[in-house]
Amino acid sequence: MISITLKLSPEVEAKCRKSIASGDAIALQQLLAEAFAPTVEELLQHSQNPIEQKDEFEAIANQLADELTDSLGPDIPTLSDDAISRPGIYEEHP
């Protein structure tokens, strides 16, 4: 779900309130459509494509992994293959 906040000038806000008060749905729709157009353009200009998002995610994940490795030091005990296998994980749980 995406939430979008429209920033209306005082003049447009007054016109919207007037349209609401008079029950003029068509005028209100027109005002909101005109106010929404610049927001759509801004969203399109600032959106990232999925490849950029994936690259950014991978860079952050790698940075976090490096920081964790640095903070734990070189003597980190490793788990055996059996310990990380499905039977090894669930051996004490029926």
**DSSP string covering 12-56, please?**
HHHHHHHHHHHT-HHHHHHHHHHHHHHHHHHHHHH---HHHHHHH
Question: What's the pLDDT at 94?
Answer: 67
Amino acid at 72: L
Residues in the chain, pLDDT under 50: none
Determine, yes or no, domain membership for 69.
yes
Counting the structural domains of the chain, the total is 2
**Residue 59 token pair:** 């860079």
pTM over 0.75: no
Pair (57, 74) in one structural domain? yes
Pair (30, 55) in one structural domain? no
Pair (42, 54) in one structural domain? no
Determine, yes or no, domain membership for 4.
no
Question: What's the pLDDT at 48?
Answer: 61
Q: What is the pLDDT of residues 66-91, one digit of tens each?
A: 888 888 877 878 888 888 898 888 88
Determine, yes or no, domain membership for 57.
yes
Pair (65, 34) in one structural domain? no
Question: What's the pLDDT at 30?
Answer: 93
Domain extent at residue 82 = 50-90
Pair (42, 65) in one structural domain? no
Rounded CA-CA distance 41/6 in Å is 13
